[in-house]
Homo-oligomer: A and B are copies of this chain.
Amino acid sequence: MLGNAIQPELEELITQRRWEELRAIATDFHPADLAEIIIDIPPEDEAVLFRVLPRRIASEVFAHLPTEHREGLVQSLTSEHMRSILEQMTPDDRTHLFEELPAEVTRSLLGSLSTEELKQSRELLGYPPQTAGRYMTPEYVALRADMTAAEALEHVRRTGRKAETLTVLYILDPGGRLLEDLRLGSLVLADADTKVADIDDRPLVAVHATTDREEVLKEFEKYDRFALPVIDDQGHMLGIITADDILDVAAAEATEDIQKIGGMAALDVPYLEAGFVRMIRKRGGWLSVLFLGELLTATAMGHFEHELERALVLAVFIPLIISSGGNTGSQAATLVVRALALEQVRLGDWLRVLGRELGSGVTLGGWLGFLGFLRVVLWQTLGIVDYGAHFLLIGLTIWVSLVGVVTFGTLAGSMLPLMLRRLGLDPATSSAPFVATLVDVTGLIIYFLAAAALLRGTLL
């Protein structure tokens, strides 16, 4: 056995965390030899070596291991040691080096865990966060295709497990590949002699372990399932995701969208559990970007200082005008972002959306402008404020500006999410504050242009 000869070198690579080299050396060997090496080295290093192997090789190595070593290996894979090694690696390294485990290892790993350990240890499987692999449980009953309905029912009774895992049964081939799923209800209704593979049930829907949870949620919604099987890319069954887990996913996805719409990066953890620094970062990042954008308002205002000097009354209505644009923009963005998420609106609908929002903008802007005009006229005639002889023109400036600003707000708010989607970005990024900032700058320009046009020769 050459195991003894290279062992010190391997150990050194492991202690020095030189994963790439370890991987390069390891793949030079025959799987049977690698199995020998794994048997020889200390148990805590077994798992590390095994983990860096490319999946196909790892699968063969696993097959060459004696049963007690397989069990030992699975235990090592969930050990504290393994976890600390994982935590010390950068996510990039992890994805690069830690390929998915062979299906049989994944299954025994998941199966050996208590519920409390499950969540924590799913991370060790190497599936990226927020993918199906992170939500699956190993609690399902597998059937062979050649079983009769009666044999299958007997098998269900014998293997027992918890009743909720019996809702759907899974027919696997001898290699562990998923062939069909079968609801217990269909099995009960079937004739005793029918082969389970021949029982008519809905077509199989399965998700891959690396499928994003948002996609998994959509599959659940589309196919009205109580559970979906999770497979690896060779079609081996790894586990199931149940509807109650998917409800949690739905809530988490909604939270993510809501926080983005609120103008921050998704927090990912419950509000009160988020560390102070983490929270400040998630919020401060976007706030800084928005602030830099908002600095443009100071630049814009600077350009109109001359007008302000001559008609200071214009300054008084600035917050009113720009915030009205921001508010309508927020509404439009929120509507379109959510409609895109629910697939009620698609990219191809952009012209219809544009038409609707143009109509909404002019109508809403006209109405708010009328309120603004009324305010100026009322305050003047009631003697509350004196806007001077040209108060009607000032009122008109506000009215016209609001039509322009509000219309721009609805258009910007509704088109921005569509543009982001078109660019392959998350539409929810066009948050309410983002749109408001965009509209603030443009709103100022619209306002002062309207003032220049309407008040030239009188106030300006």
Contact = CB atoms under 8 A, between A and B. Distances in A.
A331 B264 contact: yes
Interface in A312-326: 312, 315-320, 322-324, 326
Interface in A299-346: 301-302, 305, 308-309, 312, 315-320, 322-324, 326-328, 330-331, 333-339, 342, 344-345
A23 interface: no
Given A221-B251, A339-B270, A319 B301 contact: yes
A344 B272 contact: yes
A335 B263 contact: no
A426 to B, nearest CB: 14
A389 to B, nearest CB: 17
B317 A298 contact: yes
B258 A258 contact: yes
Contacts of A363: 280, 284
Nearest to A220: B247
Contacts of A156: 185, 188-189
A211 interface: no
Contact of A247 (B201, B221, B339): B221
Interface stretch (A36-44, A73-81, A123-131, A163-171): A163-171
Nearest to A322: B319
Given A272-B352, A323-B436, A263 B345 contact: no
A13 interface: no
Given A185-B164, A261-B334, A271-B344, A224 B250 contact: no
Contact of A272 (B263, B290, B298, B345): B345
Contacts of A220: 244, 247
Interface residues of A, number: 110
Interface string A247-278: 11011001101110111100100111100100
A294 B320 contact: yes
A437 B323 contact: yes
Contacts of A284: 363-364, 367
Contacts of A322: 319, 323
A294 B315 CA distance: 14
Contacts of A429: none
Q: Interface of chain A, helix or strand or loop or mixed?
A: helix
Q: Which of A164, A359, A436 has the most CB of B within 10 A?
A: A164
Contacts of A217: 247
A364 B262 contact: no
Given A297-B323, A327-B433, A360-B279, A342 B251 contact: yes
B440 A323 contact: yes
A319 B283 contact: no
Nearest to A313: B305
B315 A301 contact: yes
A287 B342 contact: no
Contact of A328 (B276, B287, B336): B287
Interface of A: 153, 156-157, 160, 162-167, 183-186, 188-189, 201, 217, 220-221, 224-226, 242-244, 246-248, 250-251, 254-255, 257-259, 261-264, 267, 270-273, 276, 279-280, 283-284, 286-288, 290-292, 294-295, 297-298, 301-302, 305, 308-309, 312, 315-320, 322-324, 326-328, 330-331, 333-339, 342, 344-345, 349, 352-353, 356, 359-360, 363-364, 367-368, 371-372, 375, 385, 432-433, 436-437, 440, 444
7 contacts: A164-B226, A225-B244, A254-B258, A261-B432, A271-B336, A279-B356, A286-B331
